Structure 1
Amino acid sequence: MTVQIREATDEDWPAIWPFFHEIVVARETYTYDPHLTEDAARELWMSPSSSPLRRTTVAVDADGTVLGSANMYPNRPGPGAHVSSGSFMVDARARGKGVGRLLCADMIEWSTRSGFRLIQFNAVVETNKSAVHLWQALGFRIAGTVPGAFDHPTLGYVGLHVMYRPLP
C-alpha cells in the first residue's frame, strides 16, 4: 500500500470524524470525553493553519482515502514550549499496515525541523500494547506510569504511561 502524509485540510474532516468518533467512544485508548460533539472534536483535532507550531496531518492512500490522522503541538507553553506532543488515530480498516508508524515518523521529523528538543506523550494507555510497542520501536521511553489513571471499559482502572523521545 502506498501512503502519503500531507497537511490536513477542512475538507478532510468528514473522513476523519467517523474513525475519530469510533476510537473515542470505544474508551480504550483516549482520555477524550466519549460524548464529545463533532464540532468540539473538530476544534480539538484540526489545528489552525495560522499557527506554525501546530499541525494536523492525514495519511492517504493512492486513491486519496484518509487512513489516519495526527495532530502535533507544543506540549506546554512558556518554559515547556521546547517539548512537542501529538496524538494519532488510524481507521480500523488500516490498522496494522504501518500507517501509525508513518504518521509518527512524520511528527518526529516535523518536531526536529521545528526546533523542539524532545517529544512527550502525556497519556499512553498501558494496555494499548500496539501503541506502546510502536512508540518504543520509534525511540520513545516510558518515563513513568500513573497507576489507575485511565478507566478502561472492560479492564477497569489501568495506568497511563508518560513517554518521551529526545530529538537530535
Structure 2
Amino acid sequence: MIIRPARSDDADAIWNVIGPVLRAGETYALPRDWSRSEALSYWFSKDHEVFVAEDEGLVTGTYFIHANHRGGGAHVANCGYMTAPDSVGKGVATAMCQHSMAFAATRGFRAMQFNCVVSSNERAVRLWSRLGFNVVGTIPQAFEHPDLGFVDALIMHRAL
C-alpha cells in the first residue's frame, strides 16, 4: 500500500470511497444526500490537503488534513478518513492515520484532534485509541444515527 497526494484524476476513485460512506450516514456529520459534486467539493476544500491510499493501483481509502482552527488554534491538525467498503479491516485506516500524523508533524502541527467521532463507530474509537488518541470530551446525543437514533459524539486528541 502506498499513500500519496490525491490528484484531480483521482476524483472518480475518491467518490467511489466517500459516496457509500456518506450514503450510509453512520459515521460522518455530513449530508447523506450530497451529490458527487457537492461531496467532492467538500473533500477537496481549499484548506484540505487530500491523500489517497492505493493498493495495487486501486484507491482503497482517502483522507484530508487541515488546521482544526485558525489563529491561536492553527497548531492542531484535523483529519477526515474514509475507507472503501471492500477494504475495511485491511489496515487502510491505520496506515492513513499513521501517515497523517507523520505528515502533520512535518507541517508543524503539534497535535491532532477529531471533533466528532461517532460513539457507535466502535471500530474507529478502538483504532484511534490504539494509535494514542484520548477522549477529551463527549457531546451527548450530538449525532443522529440512521438506525440507532441519537448517539454521543466524542472529541479525541493526541499530541504529535
TM-score by length of 1: 0.92
2:49 corresponds to 1:55: yes
Q: Report the Cα offset of residue 21 of structure 1.
A: 1.2
* Alignment partner, residue 17 of structure 1: 15
Structure 2 unaligned segments of length 5 or more: list them: none
Q: Matches of 2:154 and 2:142 in 1, distance apart?
A: 9
CA deviation after TM superposition for structure 1 residue 39, in Å: 1.3
What amino acid is the match of 1:56?
Answer: V
CA distance in 2, matches of 1:23, 1:143: 25
Counterparts of 1:42-121 in structure 2 under 5 Å? 42-48=40-46, 54-62=48-56, 64-121=57-114
What amino acid sits opposite 2:42 in the alignment? L
Distance 1:117 1:99 in 2: 24
**Contact 1:5 1:60 (8 Å CA) reproduced:** yes
| Number of equivalenced pairs | 160
Over residues 23-74 of structure 1, what are the superposed CA-to-partner deviations in whole Å (9 max), with x where a residue is unaligned? 11111101001121211211111254xx6xx411000012x10000000000
Name the structure 2 match of 1:27.
Answer: 25
The 4+ residue runs of structure 1 with deviation greater than 6 A are: none
**Counterpart residue type for residue 95 of structure 1:** V
Aligned residues: CA RMSD: 1.1
C-alpha distance in 2, partners of 1:37/1:81? 30
Give me the whole-angstrom Cα distance separating, in 2, the residues matched to 1:75 and 1:145: 18
Amino acid at match of 1:108: M
Identity of aligned residues (%): 38
> Which letter does structure 1 place at the counterpart of 2:68?
N
* Amino acid across the alignment from 2:54: V
Cα deviation, 1:98-135, whole Å, max 9, x if unaligned, reads: 00000000100011111111101000000000000000
